[in-house]
């Protein structure tokens, strides 16, 4: 659903305009409540480096892209951080989230049936902006037209729904959790994307491993050794290499999986030639028949903005996952931290196969901010109620 506004030379969607308006509020209160920890500093450094890389590659011509990245990443994250570890607020927000995806069910079914992007057409009629009414026959898979509903791409619909699936098990018993998450599963099925299915498998596996660890505490070491042995066996036994074998075996569409694998291969020279600032929005090296799309968040960050951007962002996610994992056995709130870890880990994994952009990037970092607000909760007193302009 695209609604655009012009702010100076910057073409802004409505949600980005809102982010601009709340930026002073977020920054003032992050500072006021002393929420700039090391994790947040790495994320801010990432946003700063992305902007610097755009300036180095394009001058001021693409400065707006740096602004948009800052808004969607850091301001979105900071807004989530201001939840300040409030369990009541998280529960209300999550239930609202479930309601929205439940309301999207009939529209997702319609789109999966005929391929017509109903919500995008409605938004275009209201705001008068261009719209792609039908994604094309290439988006027809397993008898379904891949649904995207309010998102730019079907895979983003799936990712944004399933990243919060573990939260269902905080508030409901297993069977009710599955029922209440119907809208999330419809997103997974109607978008027909491997990433969504693999996220659910990963989350479920982590839950099972945690339960096993209660009786066999060395299970995590066994899993690490098992994966390492399988990897080595694939190196020895397959002429395709372990990565390609796993990519093609796990994907719903081996052809698109192989295309993603090729993106890593062909972009390696570009990254090696521009390791510091990346290539920005310049065209990257590839065969003439290959699309210019880069379907990996981690690869795109490195290709566009260089290794420093990748380092800062990796440090942010590492510190986040480390803190969540270390608190998973907390006496009272351990289940919260473990659920946050499952969600964050699945986001990191999904980023290998999809680039987060538009609303998806905002939603990902907003949720990460909410999760991390629980990590800094002991430092807070009254939380969001203290927020002032």
Residue 306 and residue 13: Cα distance in Å, rounded? 27
pLDDT at site 249: 59
pLDDT digits (tens, 9 = 90+) for 149-178: 888 888 899 999 999 999 999 999 989 999
* Mean pLDDT of the 267-277 span: 91
Contact 71, 20 (CB under 8 A): yes
Gap between the Cα atoms of 337 and 167, Å rounded: 10
Q: What percent of the chain has pLDDT over 90?
A: 44
The whole-model pTM stands at: 0.86
Distance CA 370, CA 90 (A): 8
- As a whole-number percent, the residues of the chain with pLDDT over 70 amount to 86
* Cα dihedral: 278, 308, 301, 349 (round 10): 150
Whole-angstrom Cα distance, residue 93 to residue 110? 27
Residue pointed to by tokens 């509903």: 149
User: pLDDT per residue over 335-361, tens digit each?
Assistant: 999 999 999 999 999 998 888 887 889
Residue-wise pLDDT tens digits, 86-142: 889 999 999 999 999 999 999 999 988 888 888 777 777 776 666 777 787 777 888
What digits encode the pLDDT tens for the residues 36-55?
Answer: 889 999 999 999 999 999 99
């Amino acid at each position: 659903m695209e609604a655009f506004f012009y702010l100076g030379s910057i073409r802004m969607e409505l949600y980005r305009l809102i982010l601009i308006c709340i930026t002073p509020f977020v920054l003032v209160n992050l500072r006021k409540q002393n929420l700039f920890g090391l994790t947040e500093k790495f994320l801010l450094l990432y946003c700063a480096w992305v902007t610097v890389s755009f300036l180095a590659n394009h001058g001021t011509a693409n400065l707006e892209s740096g602004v948009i990245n800052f808004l969607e990443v850091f301001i979105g994250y900071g807004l989530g951080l201001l939840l300040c570890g409030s369990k009541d607020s998280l529960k209300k927000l999550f239930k609202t989230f479930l309601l929205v995806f439940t309301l999207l069910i009939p529209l997702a079914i319609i789109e999966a049936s005929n391929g017509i992007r109903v919500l995008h057409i409605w938004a275009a009629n209201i705001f008068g902006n261009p719209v792609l009414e039908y994604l094309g026959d290439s988006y027809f898979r397993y008898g379904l037209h891949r649904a995207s509903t309010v998102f730019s791409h079907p895979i983003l619909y799936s990712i944004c729904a399933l990243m919060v699936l573990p939260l269902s098990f905080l508030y409901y018993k297993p069977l009710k959790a599955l029922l209440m998450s119907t809208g999330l599963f419809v997103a997974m099925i109607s978008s027909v994307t491997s990433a969504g299915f693999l996220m659910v498998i990963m989350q479920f596996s982590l839950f099972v491993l945690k339960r096993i660890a209660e009786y066999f505490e060395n299970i995590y070491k066994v899993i690490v050794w098992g994966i390492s042995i399988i990897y080595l066996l694939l190196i020895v036994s397959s002429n395709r290499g372990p990565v390609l074998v796993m990519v093609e075996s796990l994907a719903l569409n081996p052809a698109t999986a192989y295309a993603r694998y090729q993106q890593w291969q062909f972009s390696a020279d570009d990254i090696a030639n521009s390791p510091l600032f990346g290539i920005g929005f310049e065209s990257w090296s590839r065969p003439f028949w290959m699309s210019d799309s880069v379907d990996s968040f981690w690869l795109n960050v490195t290709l566009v903005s260089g290794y420093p951007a990748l380092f800062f962002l990796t440090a942010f996610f590492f510190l986040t996952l480390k803190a969540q994992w270390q608190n998973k056995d907390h006496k009272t709130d351990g289940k919260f931290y473990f659920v946050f870890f499952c969600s964050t880990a699945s986001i990191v994994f999904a980023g290998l196969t999809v680039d987060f952009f538009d609303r998806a990037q905002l939603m990902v970092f907003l949720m990460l901010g909410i999760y991390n607000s629980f990590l800094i909760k002991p430092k807070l007193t009254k939380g969001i109620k203290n927020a002032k302009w």
